[in-house]
Amino acid sequence: MMRVQLISRENGLGLSHDMEVLRSALVGISGDTMQVSFTDWQAKPAPKGSFDINIFLELLNPAHYRSAKRNILVPNPEWFVREWRPHLHGLTQVWAKTRDCERIFQGLHRDVRYTGWTSFDRNDPTVERKKALLHVAGGSSAKGTGAVMEAMRMLPHHNLTMVTSKPVTSPPPNVTVLGRQDAADLVRIMNEHAVHLCPSSYEGFGHYINEARSVGAVIISTAAAPMDELVGGEFGLLAGVTSRGWQNLATHQHVDTEALSRCIASAMASPLRLLQELGTHAREQYLKEREDFERTIIELLK
């Protein structure tokens, strides 16, 4: 039986999501031929040779290297700090969730493999779809929420529902702000809304974009990497950028508010039937890339 140790930390956000996605994928594709466990990245390392494979998600601690025969990093470029670079040579492979990440780490490690990634399927076909706007801001500061608020001020005749765990100061009157939702309510809300606003400045992967694809939504995002890897013209709209910034290895590209408002207006001018057709393509792409991810993981773990 192959012994795999996932090494990271629980943060209640995308990192926790990554761990559960990978754990579920490994268990699902291996049946009873793989034992998957988790340890905190700052925990005391297991004895030498305790595992066949260590998979580090975002956080790198070389003290754990001796506990496995193979050590793999799944990085998020925006959180990869300079102090970790000398420890890259001790890794067997780097798995890149996005093509942008692949490009960045090809200059830092000898064996970088593009895996893609996936998210949990939030589709519920029993929920009635409405021609309505949704922005799931969550707890991240990189979701473009400020630009969404400004765009909605330019579009007073359209209404937006926003789900966030952070306080929102003076939202425009056409924005309904909902706090943290339980899982069932969030799934219902996601399936109700035909258009999802996801104008992130950067994403390690982009779970809220990919979950929007899973429910068959039309997605409005940022015309920049890696968001444009998840959103294509056959099922979404990309708004141009107005400024850039840097965070560790990542380039943040901030969406242009006026371009975002034009994309919103264009989507809302479309009949619901067309939005649903576009959303069908989004879901098809989600399903295809989930299969690709699982197939790639199987090959890399052989």
- Report pLDDT digits (tens) over 206-244: 999 999 999 999 999 999 999 999 998 889 999 999 999
The DSSP bridge pattern shows strands 218-222 and 193-198 to be parallel
Each residue's pLDDT tens digit, 23-63: 999 988 777 778 999 999 999 999 999 999 999 999 999 99
Does CATH place domain 130-287 in 3.40.50.2000?
Answer: yes
Rounded to the nearest integer, the mean pLDDT of the chain is: 95
Q: Where are the domains of the chain?
A: 2-114, 130-287
Instruction: Report whether pLDDT(262) > 90.
Output: yes
Span 2-114: which CATH code? 3.40.50
Give the span between the Cα atoms of 158 and 255, in whole angstroms. Answer: 20
Instruction: Report whether pLDDT(12) > 80.
Output: no
Q: Do domains 2-114 and 130-287 have the same CATH topology?
A: yes
% of the chain residues with pLDDT over 90: 88
% of the chain residues with pLDDT over 70: 100
The secondary element (H helix, E strand) that includes residue 106 is helix 99-106
Q: What is the model's pLDDT at position 140?
A: 80
Count of residues making up the chain: 302
Q: What is the model's pLDDT at position 254?
A: 98
The secondary element (H helix, E strand) that includes residue 198 is strand 193-198
Confidence class of residue 296 from pLDDT cuts 50, 70 and 90?
A: very high
Q: What is the model's pLDDT at position 232?
A: 87
Instruction: Report whether pLDDT(165) > 90.
Output: no
| Integer angstrom CA distances of residue 37 from 6, 47, 79, 96, 165 | 6, 15, 23, 21, 30
